[in-house]
Amino acid sequence: MISHHPEARLWLLSTPGTSYAFQLDADDVPRHVHWGRPLTLEQAVVIAADLPAEDPGSDDAGGEEYVVEGGLRFGAPSLTVRFDDGVRGFEWRFLSHTVEGGRLTLSFADRVRSLGLDLHYRILDGHDQIERWAVLTADEPVDVLRFDSAAWTLPARDDYRVSHVVGEWGREFQLQRDRVPVGETVFTSRLGITGQHAGPWLMLDAHDATEEHGEVWSAALAWSGSRRITLRRDPYGRASWTGGFGHEGLVWKLVPGESLETPVFTGLYAPDGFGGASRRWHAYIERQVLPARPAERPLIFNSWEATEFDITEKQQAELAELAAGVGIEVFVVDDAWFGTRTSDMAGLGDWWPNPDRFPAGLGPLADRVRALGMGFGLWVEPEGVNPDSDLFRAHPDWILHQDGRTRTLRRNQHVLNFARRDVREWAVEWLVRTVTELDVVFLKWDMNRSFSEVGQPGAADPDRIWIEHTRGVYEVMDRLRAARPGLYLESCAGGGGRADLGVLARADQVWTSDNTDAADRIAIQHGHCQLLPARTMGAWVTDSPNSFTARPTSIRYRFHVSMAGAMGIGGDLRKWSEEDLAWARMLVEQYKRIRPVVHGGALYRLDHDAVQYLTEDEVVVFQFQPSALNRSVVRTRLKGLDPDARYRDVATGAVHEGAVLLGHGLPPLLSFDWTSELVHLRRVPR
């Protein structure tokens, strides 16, 4: 519900569990009032009247709902503009507000210049998230140096801590918690894509939150390109942050009559710890962000680790036979099926079957896969191109480049410019044709190249490419899905380099990491699920020893780790023993039984490397022990169960009291390296 108090010039946004309030001051500046536990409109007005007046001796205005450059403001702005005569900044003049359902729009104009700014807020039934974005409209030429989606202000606390994920290729989603220092901390990507090094979200607490207790404020940016989030703690102890697309050094030009809209930056307050925040994010992403489809993700086999670039039709058919035998639902042919692609040196961009490897095209293999009872899937990298390709030879101007500058190669490839209409039309044509002719049901969309020499010679607004490439990718994905509504799409960028709410509005899941080592995946998956739900987390069972780390682990352990997400198999099944294949068949059957709970239930992180999924009637718990040296005698207590209910162990038939599982828990694991346990419980009547 959205409420307005005209006399106080205050707006209150009320969700099922939170309230968010702000008001306009005498100079029409929007100022933050409250973000936290539920309030009435009258209570919000009382809080606003009690806020401290601006200190005339301070060098910081502070507490503003959206920070513009100008006046006594010296922190990071949300908006920085420069007019043709060199004048900078924005002075607020309130025009109007509108409320349509759960959407509030406040319209402002600069007091002197011909520039309009709309601030948008949206709340959704059943969720505590607040979606925010902004629209800038120019009636005179203006350079936009920074244009963020939203700024967020926290209540005053004695201390603050920030939680976020960091990493690199093969070590994505490493959860980090740090004290917020006085000054500015910038979380950015200049890669053109989301990047493995930092996720586009933050969680803050008062350094007192735990997994299930304490207040947590968070926000996630729905954007898959270059970005910047600036977290600030001022000398008086207040914490706030502002964020949006782009990074320092970029300038976007608006001409009269033109508008620029930001991506959505969604905020959430949770009173029940990091676990409560995660479950609220999972529910929001599942219901409001992801493409609408049943929760359960298909069980895939991917051929990459089995074959890499050494691919033939015969070999793929052999793998398909074995995959069908263990219960796989979709067989995905990875890299090297196209053009002259026998290594990463050539062929990228030539999206037709390699005539030497597939003399009759991919049709016979796809038909064989379907005859085995599986769907057919493919790997593609639409944004990449090798110089040694027919596409590049025909269209060398299609790549990101600048006149007079070296065209740097990385991974022997360049990035195609999806800001160009002709590039997007080319991509849509071959993608739709390929998935239609082959009846592809699962497409792995990879992107292995960060941006360099970013430009589009001759463009009037050259830096706009940083925005328009990402929007071009979104457009192609949207048109592909519209043409093939049943298609499952997986986002991949050298592993987990494009995992955000922007791409997940189009992709059903993300490839979490190229590192498939089950032991390493524990931490990777732990970080992924701080914000993103388990159903979005691609997780393969691969060979032992692992090809990435050379670490040997049991097949049971590898399966259990992968079962905690959207499981797939990526090992070379031709080399698996009969015993391993028998284990695989049994564990696949077990996964299919628990999949509705893992993909559709609420996730609880338990102590001692354990994770739990809960629906109304079923519970699934995975316990992991990475090392015998870390063995604990402490039992793993479950969460969220009905203490008055009884639960039967599906495997043993033993019946447990809910109160006992909550208070006393499950037995600890045996003292061996890389051990695991799966417990599946069903609620039974008394």
Domain assignment of residue 409, given as a range: 300-511
- Tokens 């990475």, residue located: 626
Q: Residue 268's closest CA among 219, 317, 224?
A: 219
Whether residue 54 is contained in a domain is answered as no
Q: Are residues 450 and 475 in the same domain?
A: yes
Q: Are residues 92 and 145 in the same domain?
A: yes
Domains: count for the chain: 3
Please tell me the distance from the alpha carbon of residue 414 to that of residue 409, in angstroms, as a whole number: 6
**What would the pLDDT profile of 229-266 be if each residue is shown by its tens digit?**
999 998 888 899 999 999 999 999 999 999 999 999 99
Tokens of 305: 């680790």
Given a cut of 80, whether residue 670 has pLDDT beyond it is no
- Please pick, among 234, 350, 388, 446, the residue that the annotation labels catalytic: 446
Cβ-based neighbours of 79, under 8 Å, separated by 6 or more: 66, 67, 68, 69, 90, 117, 134, 136, 146, 147, 148
Tokens of 514: 């190229």
Q: Are residues 282 and 304 in the same domain?
A: no
Does 28 appear as a known binding residue? no
Does 223 appear as a known binding residue? no
Banded model confidence at residue 631, pLDDT cuts 50, 70, 90: low
Banded model confidence at residue 25, pLDDT cuts 50, 70, 90: very high
Q: Are residues 191 and 149 in the same domain?
A: yes
Q: Residue 33's closest CA among 72, 74, 71, 3?
A: 3
Average pLDDT, the chain: 95
What is the CATH number for 615? 2.60.40.1180
Tell me which of 490, 511, 532 is where a domain ends. Answer: 511
- Please pick, among 110, 514, 517, 609, the residue that the annotation labels catalytic: 514
DSSP string covering 346-408, please?
Answer: B-TT--SB-TTT-TT-SHHHHHHHHHTT-EEEEEE-TTEE-SBSHHHHH-GGGBS--TTS---
Does 572 appear as a known binding residue? no
Whether residue 108 is contained in a domain is answered as yes
Q: Are residues 269 and 381 in the same domain?
A: no
Q: Residue 622's closest CA among 636, 602, 632, 640?
A: 636
Cβ-based neighbours of 480, under 8 Å, separated by 6 or more: 428, 431, 432, 435, 443, 487, 489
Does 411 appear as a known binding residue? yes
Q: Give catalytic status of residue 580 as yes or no.
A: no
Whether residue 520 is contained in a domain is answered as no
Q: Are residues 421 and 344 in the same domain?
A: yes
Q: Are residues 282 and 312 in the same domain?
A: no
What is the CATH number for 319? 3.20.20.70
Does 644 appear as a known binding residue? no
Does 444 appear as a known binding residue? yes
Whether residue 322 is contained in a domain is answered as yes
Whether residue 435 is contained in a domain is answered as yes
Does 334 appear as a known binding residue? yes
Q: Are residues 322 and 228 in the same domain?
A: no
Query: Average of pLDDT values for 280-302?
Result: 97
Does 335 appear as a known binding residue? yes
Whether residue 552 is contained in a domain is answered as no
Q: Are residues 215 and 353 in the same domain?
A: no
**What would the pLDDT profile of 592-609 be if each residue is shown by its tens digit?**
999 999 999 999 999 878
Q: Are residues 233 and 184 in the same domain?
A: yes
Given a cut of 60, whether residue 457 has pLDDT beyond it is yes
DSSP class of residue 667 equals: P
Look at residue 625 in the predicted model and tell me its pLDDT: 83
Q: Give catalytic status of residue 310 as yes or no.
A: no
Banded model confidence at residue 375, pLDDT cuts 50, 70, 90: very high
Whether residue 33 is contained in a domain is answered as no
Tell me which of 263, 289, 315 is where a domain ends. Answer: 289
What is the CATH number for 216? 2.70.98.60
Look at residue 56 in the predicted model and tell me its pLDDT: 47
Please tell me the distance from the alpha carbon of residue 519 to that of residue 496, in angstroms, as a whole number: 17
Tell me which of 447, 482, 511 is where a domain ends. Answer: 511
**What would the pLDDT profile of 126-162 be if each residue is shown by its tens digit?**
999 999 999 999 999 999 999 999 999 999 999 999 9
Whether residue 69 is contained in a domain is answered as yes
**What would the pLDDT profile of 395-406 be if each residue is shown by its tens digit?**
999 999 999 999
Tokens of 573: 């099944």
Across 49-63, 204-218, 606-620, 661-675, least confident range: 49-63
Q: Are residues 272 and 313 in the same domain?
A: no
- The rounded percent of the chain whose pLDDT value lies above 90 is 91
**What would the pLDDT profile of 190-236 be if each residue is shown by its tens digit?**
999 999 999 999 999 999 999 999 999 999 999 999 999 999 998 88
Q: Are residues 345 and 238 in the same domain?
A: no
Does 445 appear as a known binding residue? yes
Look at residue 237 in the predicted model and tell me its pLDDT: 82
